[in-house]
Structure 1
Amino acid sequence: MNGDASQADAHAQTEASSSAEETKRRSLDEEARDSLHILPLSSIPLETPGLQHARLIKNVRLQTVVEMFHGTQTGSGQVVPRHVPAYFESYKEEVERDLVKIEKIATASSFDVYSSRIELRRLKIDVNNVECLTLSDRKKKELTSYMRVFTRPLMEYVYGQEDMQVADVSDIIRLFATPNKDEALRNLRMMADRLDIELTEIPHFLEEYGDIFLSLAYFRKCLDEIVPEVQRFVTWMADIRTSAEVKRDPRQMKMLDDIARDLTDISTSITGRFESFDNRSKDFWSDINADTFRTIRELIASHHVTIGGVLCGLAVKMNLWKSRFQRGGGGPNRRMEFVKSEILPGLSHIKALETSARIGHS
């Protein structure tokens, strides 16, 4: 009897352990999908067994490394892409072919799902049904309040009211598939005419509308989380100036000034870009037609790569700062060393990305 009980306990423990592992794996998968700096290699068709479990990540210097393993106990095992073949000596030919793809994708400035789709399409890789290249359901729920900015004018246009119970664009598509008011049906027909599409194509238009503005909502939430951290960091960095040693060194004072100015300029500029998108989306609803929608869709999509790159760079640096200085402390010398070794490298890349976006779309 005791043997049976022991076996049952062991079986229950194995199942519990397996369930915990599955939950952890799912959580890591969701983290990667919703992240700016992680790309699971399972999203790319690779030949080398084992590589599918690795991830591309951006380190604090904004270099792309292959993370071979990741765990609370084990830490993060990172190698630069060109050193990957040493880990798969039995698959020399396969890993060399895979490395061609990996090194091309590694040049991307961000690994958010929107930038990754663009980069993978450039490599002629089909991204349409790759689950890890879509935001997780959890993230989409988080973005509901951000999406209301874009769903409200749609509801007003078709139903004449904005307070209908709509969580996300999929709810709107269901609602519009069977409109429950004659006036709504008339408005949908008018919208179809203005967009130069058939009434039956409205759900497809809504999906496209939803996806383009979901991307904007995603980046906007990232921005709203990162900018206050950047402002806190600039204040924290300013305290280094009180050090007598730093005061005596004009080069160090100038470096602190330059970093503070660059971070402030980047934050201000990218925030201004989002305000411009908001204004353009309002313009669309005041004059609905195929050209205005195509223009706003192309405008937002053309900014994905630079927005992703700027936010990714800032996020990686601010996350490391928060983990190293959890209570915001640290003496002047320790702070200065962190700024020089972790914040300064790669900052010029973030600044150049934001400047290129400003010039390219001014």
Structure 2
Amino acid sequence: MTVSGGYEAEPKGLNPIEDGDMDSLFTLPLSFIPLKTPALRQARMIKNAQLRSVIELFSDVQTGSGQIEISDLPKLLNWPTDEVHPDHVIIRKLSTLHSYDVFSLRIMLRKIGVPLANAADLQLSPEKNQELTHYMTQFTRPLIAEIYGGEDVQVERFEDVVGLFRDPDIKRARQRLQQMADALGIEILEVPTFLEDYGDIFLSLSYYKQCLDRLTPLLDVFLASMYDIRKNYQLRQDQNLLRNCDMIENTINELTAAITGRFENFERSTKAMWEDISADRFQKVKELIQAYHVTIGGVLCGLTVKMNAWIRLFPKPTTGGPVKRSEFIMSDIRQGLDNITKIEDSAPMMALLS
């Protein structure tokens, strides 16, 4: 087991991206995974700076993070040596996942054959839902406009949309349900399911957009530091370093451009959906967005882990110096970056899904 040292003090204004376990791209609490080993159920799986999945037994600002390689689990946990422990099988499967966000997990846990006792566990926290209110507003506005037209309806959260159909006036509530059913071309009893699907799919899009928005300032700081490395008299003689800096910068720019382009495509598809709304058109938009959950989650997870590692080690522009920064770039930043590119390259073709 390795124990990373206590984290450096971080400056105000730019900190690593941290979320609660169920809201994180790169942290998987093992408490809801069907494992038999108590010590594992109390641990977490995380992505380290090289993007390897490791088991984190403890984490503290003072003591750092206590991590163990998955291959070392049998010895640490005294598992029998004559057969593979079933928990090790599950852990190995989980380690192949590119992201641990709940939307990717819903797809991938089923794909790799890891069942959950309660699928409802894969939900964002109430706090995260509240954070995403601003992002969700752009998706609730056209819904309200379509169903209520010029009515003065106050809606701030998606939950408020659902609340509109729980009017104490039963007649008025039924009228609203019928309005939506007519607009969608579905039966009135199908409206609650539509609302649930609508809220969840655009919550996922809001979540990923927030992840990108939070990541962007960290990427900007990192890319700016590359300039200092290139102009350093000693380091600019190192052609291998300069080639890697160019490769890393190009890779980051290409990855962020690809994700941004997808968000723009999703927005165009959503806008077109509302120009002629129907349950079928919504289903196509839903499937389009879901098709990219694993790709977007994986790319954002990889870049966030890399940038978090950078900000922790170099929290200020003056921390470390160009030489130390170049060493970290050639070790931790470069390692595993090609895997993020592979995730992006494996994404389905947008044209085939339209």
Q: Decide which of 275, 279, 284 is 2:264's aligned counterpart.
A: 275
Structure with higher RCO (Cα < 8 A, 6+ apart): 2
Separation in structure 1 between the aligned mates of residue 128 and residue 179 of structure 2, nearest angstrom: 33
Work out whether residues 42 and 53 of structure 1, in 8 Å CA contact, stay in contact via their aligned partners in 2: yes
Tell me, in whole angstroms, the C-alpha distance in 2 between the residues paired with 1:73 and 1:255: 33
CA offsets 1:208-263 (integer angstroms, 9 cap, x no match): 11011001000000011112321221111121011122222322222211111111
CA deviation map 1:305-340 (0-9, x unaligned) = 010000001111111111111112232211111111
Partner amino acid for 2:191? Answer: I
Counterpart of 1:16? none
**How is 1:86-235 mapped onto 2 (pairs within 5 angstroms)?**
86-89=75-78, 96-122=85-111, 123=113, 125-126=115-116, 128-131=118-121, 133-161=122-150, 164-178=153-167, 188-193=177-182, 195-235=184-224
Give the conservation status (yes or no) of the 8 Å contact 1:30–1:136: no
Matched, 1:55 2:44: yes
Tell me the percent identity: 45
SS of the equivalent of 1:70 reads: strand
- Check conservation: 1:41, 1:52, Cα contact below 8 A: yes
For structure 2, which runs of at least 5 residues remain unmatched after alignment? 1-17
Q: What one-letter code is carried by the residue in structure 1 that aligns with 2:40?
A: L
> How far 1:87 sits from its partner (Å)?
2.4
**SS, match of residue 71 in structure 2:** helix
Larger proportion of helix:
1
Match of 2:325 in 1: 335
Do structure 1's residue 325 and structure 2's residue 314 form an aligned pair? yes
Secondary structure of 1:78's counterpart equals strand
Aligned partners of 2:47 and 2:346: how far apart in 1? 21
1:146 Cα deviation from its structure 2 partner: 0.2
Q: Distance in 1 between matches of 2:290 and 2:306?
A: 25
User: Residue 33 in 1 paired to residue 40 in 2?
Assistant: no
- Extract unaligned runs of 5+ from structure 1: 1-28
Q: Does the CA contact (< 8 Å) of 2:23 and 2:125 recur in 1?
A: yes
Q: Which amino acid aligns with 1:234?
A: L
Partner residue of 2:247? 258
Q: What do you get for the CA RMSD once the two structures are aligned?
A: 2.5
Normalising by structure 2, what TM-score?
0.86
Q: Which amino acid aligns with 2:94?
A: I
Report the structure number with the largest CA radius of gyration.
Answer: 1
What is the TM-score normalised by the length of structure 1? 0.84
- Contact 1:240-1:246 at 8 Å conserved across structures: yes
Contact 1:240 1:336 in 2 (8 A): yes
Deviation of 1:128 (Å) = 4.9
Question: 2:31·2:42 contact (CA, 8 Å) conserved in 1?
Answer: yes
Tell me what 2:338 maps to.
348
2:35 equivalent in structure 1? 46
One-letter code aligned to 1:240? I
Deviation at 1:183, TM superposition (A): 8.9
Match of 1:83 in 2: 72
| Conserved? CA contact 1:241–1:247, under 8 Å | yes
After superposition, give the CA deviation of every residue in 1:97-149 in whole Å (9 maximum; x if it has no partner). Answer: 11111111110000111111212222151375443x21111111000000001
State the AA in 1 paired with 2:281.
Answer: T
Deviation at 1:195, TM superposition (A): 3.6
- Matched AA of 1:74: T
CA distance in 1, matches of 2:150, 2:306: 43
